[in-house]
Amino acid sequence: MSETIADPTSATRMIWFFEEGRGDMKELLGGKGAGLAEMTRAGLPVPPGFTITTQTCLQYYALGRKNPPGLVDGVREAMRELERRTGKRFGVEENPLLVSVRSGARASMPGMMDTILNLGLNDATVTGLARGTGNERFAWDAYRRFIMMFSSVVLNLDKHLFEDLIDEKKAELRVASDPELDAGSWQDLVSRFKDIVRTHAGREFPTDVFEQLDLAIGAVFDSWNSKRAIDYRRYNKIPDDWGTAVNVVAMVFGNIGDDSGTGVAFTRDPNTGERQLFGEYLRNAQGEDVVAGIRTPERISDLECTQPEVYRQFLEIARNLERHYRDMQDLEFTVERGKLYMLQTRTGKRSAEAAVKIAIDLVNEGVIDKREAIARVSAHSLDQLFHARIDPHEAFDVAAKGLNASPGAASGQVVFEADDAVAWREAGKDVVLVRVETTPDDVHGMIAARGVLTAKGGATSHAAVVARGMGEPCVAGCEALQIDRRTKTATLAGKPLREGDWITIDGTTGNVMLGKLTLIDPPSQLPDWLATYLSWADGARRLEIWANADTPQDARKARELGAQGIGLCRTEHMFMQQDRLPIVQGMILADTAAARAEALAKLLPFQREDFIGILEAMTGLPVTIRLLDPPLHEFLPSLETLLVETTELRVREGESSPRYIERRAVLKRVEQLHEQNPMLGLRVCRLGILYPEIYAMQVQAIFEAACDLTARGLEVRPEVMIPGVGTKEEMKVTRDAAKAVADRVLAERSVALAYRIGTMVELPRACVVADELALHAEFFSFGTNDLTQTTYGYSRDDAEASFIPRYLDLKILKDDPFQVLDRRGVGTLMEEAVRRGRGARAGLKIGICGEHGGEPSSVAFCHQLGLDYVSCSPYRVPIARLAAAQAAIGAID
């Protein structure tokens, strides 16, 4: 080694040969480089090479995408050392040295960054490669591959420019596949490829091998910030400041002949977790051929028949690597003329099902303990187990993208009206409800639909919240969607969309596809293997896991999935049902207290039955019921709709028409209720104070339901939650009123029943006066959706569809605060509320019921705050169970 390759302890060192690194140096060498280093140190057959560190990549960006001082000279020195080790010369015709230039971040990002193979070829070295291998066709095939890959990655040319010429050549010669093209064909294509570069890149294809290498290294660094890499990092919560390493590796060739080939394998099945070698092998090919799908590969097990000694050696290496890393490995390898070379080992990406099963198997095999098994599985990944998903074998194009508001995939025929969704579903058709945005009036259509797609709204919009509660896929805020409700048509990214057309939405990714795709259904109940794994998590966690549920069906599902209580039952969703919405509207339109009381008396039996169903489903567990929260106008048609409707009625039927008079009265009431900012207007506890009879009816229904169930010998634990309290006076007035009704009902029924009255903490002021609120509130539940909204001053329905995506791009925001809890701002307010609340009332029970309660990092923060429980949508309960356990053992923070 030359002196340029510095002491291994040097923090500023830019270049490391493989034998100098270690497997635990992923932060510096990236995952691929660390894996190559560990395999080299273990004596496995790895081609020689070196790694340029992730820190060098960060320096490259800090200098405005320029090479750090000393990098070019260091690479030149490293290449001289690589020449010495291989006995080949870089850029020299006789026995030329060729290299691959590969990316390698510390976290696996398969396919997201760039790779270049066969670098070092030019018109001179290609002839030397042909003579040295005795295979002219192989040499020219390697050269055309290099030009294609280099031109695409470095010169940003469309690869189809080159592929089209190959297709033309095959058509001209009447052959079906690339391997049927001879040396002369590839030599002709190389010449034509250079013409493409000259025409479209405005320069000659570089023939200086060091220029090729320098440009390739820069292109790999640049690929760290490619759009696909940024999107992948954002989805997988990978920091932007990690950078990628660059691995320069002496080429070994799998496309010299039938005794050569390339393959990818996993030490266990990444889809099912089954303990067997899983992968593919392609004879007489390079790695890109496996990925491209141009030829059908063999199963890895077929290698045992064709090259048994290679297979035996590979199987032994695979087993040793899994034993060494104590986890399933993803392996890449090449066979060159019967000799095996290992090109990669890394922890293998796997499905959620496989991740859980592998963790359980490794515990049973004595490789890891339960604590490590709990830490091994991404809590977020469990989401995919409980929702339909697109068959991974499906090929499709993404037509548009929105916000991933509620996970799962759905295919159906487009309908634009909620009533149509019901009618079509009753006719046996699967539908996707497509709306500008949903309102309470649309709930029956959402229930009928397989999924929901909206043009506006965010991850905490009405559509998102209701869909998540129902376990229904939803893509919200799809800006490429333009809807014309009058004609029942739309355009999606400029393409026409008509009622009855098939579309597929993926609420896990936010993708929208035209056409019907094949879906894989989720299990109907918790599989035994997942129940076993989550029982281990339950033994490790401190936080209780509750659920947000508005119906008995939701409550039963939550309980099946392990919920220990209901943290939020939204009573307004009960008002939205079609059989009671007219009564609710009659109550709102009532112009006297007596008329309002009459309407409420009709609602009381409905509410009582609602609460009987939920309390019975959660027998023995607490059920927190939030009194009416939204402004009254949400239960009425929109002002815009009524203006159009009354105008049309007046023109068509005249002002004396009974229908016109009735709709005009509704319009007048809507105008009276209209507010400039309804989010901060007459809603939450303010509604209950101005219209106390509404809250009184709800509390009466709760406790009559509780008494009926108690009389049947069932244990019920109702908790009444007052929404939106900001002052101790609001808390006292509403709490005293609710307690008076509850105590009256219990006295009339002669039932002794423990209950609690508390508040949803969703205003910054509530957090800083929590000590005063705790004098009257017996529990706190953080409503972090609204607390985030009021802390930031963001309208959540508008922000996620407008500026938040741009804020994320500009790194003004690290995460969407409506999806990941903002610890610095909202979290500080929560911390203050916990401190003040428990200071005033020892043992005050505190939880969280916003959707953050099912987001793993937010759950970890709740654990750190010392909350008693988190509450989330039923289908996110398993996620929260695992996240709470991981927080308790320090696996996430």
Q: How far apart are CA 601 and CA 77, in angstroms?
A: 88
CB 880, CB 859: distance < 8 Å: yes
Q: What's the sign of the alpha-carbon dihedral 589, 592, 594, 597?
A: positive
CB 768, CB 726: distance < 8 Å: no
* 655 contact partners, CB below 8 Å, separation of at least 6: 661
Core vs surface per residue 39-63: b (16+ CB within 10 A) or e: bbeeebebbbbbbbbbbbbbbbbee
Provide the pairing of β-strand 261-266 with 329-336.
antiparallel
Q: How far apart are CA 313 and CA 315, in angstroms?
A: 6
Beta strands in 571-716 (DSSP E): 622-626
**Can 57 be counted among the known catalytic residues?**
no
DSSP 613-637: HHHHHTTTSEEEEEPP-S-GGGGS-
Closest alpha carbon to 23 in 9, 34, 32: 34
> Active site residue: 57, 849, 862, 872, which one?
849
Query: Terminal CA-to-CA distance of the chain, rounded, Å?
Result: 43
Q: How far is CA 482 from CA 72, 217, 546, in A?
A: 52, 43, 38
CB 871, CB 566: distance < 8 Å: yes
The enclosing H or E element of 651 equals helix 639-653
* 240 contact partners, CB below 8 Å, separation of at least 6: 230, 233, 811
Closest alpha carbon to 629 in 699, 585, 682, 696: 682
Among all chains, which residue has been given the structure tokens 């560990």?
Answer: 38
Tokens matching residue 378: 């991404």
The distance between the two most distant Cα atoms of the chain, rounded to a whole number of Å, is 102
* Residue type at position 840: A
SS3 492: strand
* Residue type at position 118: N
* 366 contact partners, CB below 8 Å, separation of at least 6: none
* 631 contact partners, CB below 8 Å, separation of at least 6: 673, 675, 678, 681, 682, 683, 687
Q: How far apart are CA 231 and CA 229, in angstroms?
A: 5
Q: How far apart are CA 800 and CA 806, in angstroms?
A: 10
**Can 776 be counted among the known catalytic residues?**
no
The enclosing H or E element of 265 equals strand 261-266
Q: How far is CA 546 from CA 381, 464, 622, 623, in A?
A: 20, 19, 9, 9
> Active site residue: 462, 633, 776, 852, which one?
462
Closest alpha carbon to 210 in 63, 99, 50, 54: 99
Q: How far apart are CA 253 and CA 345, in angstroms?
A: 18
Cα 628 to chain centroid, rounded:
32
Residues forming beta bridges with residue 602, ordered by sequence position: none
Closest alpha carbon to 551 in 443, 430, 419: 443
CB 593, CB 690: distance < 8 Å: no
Long-range interactions of 531-534: CB distance < 8 A, separation 24+: 532/360, 533/356, 533/359, 533/360, 533/373, 533/377, 534/562, 534/878, 534/881, 534/882
Q: How far apart are CA 542 and CA 564, in angstroms?
A: 13
Active-site residue set: 462, 849
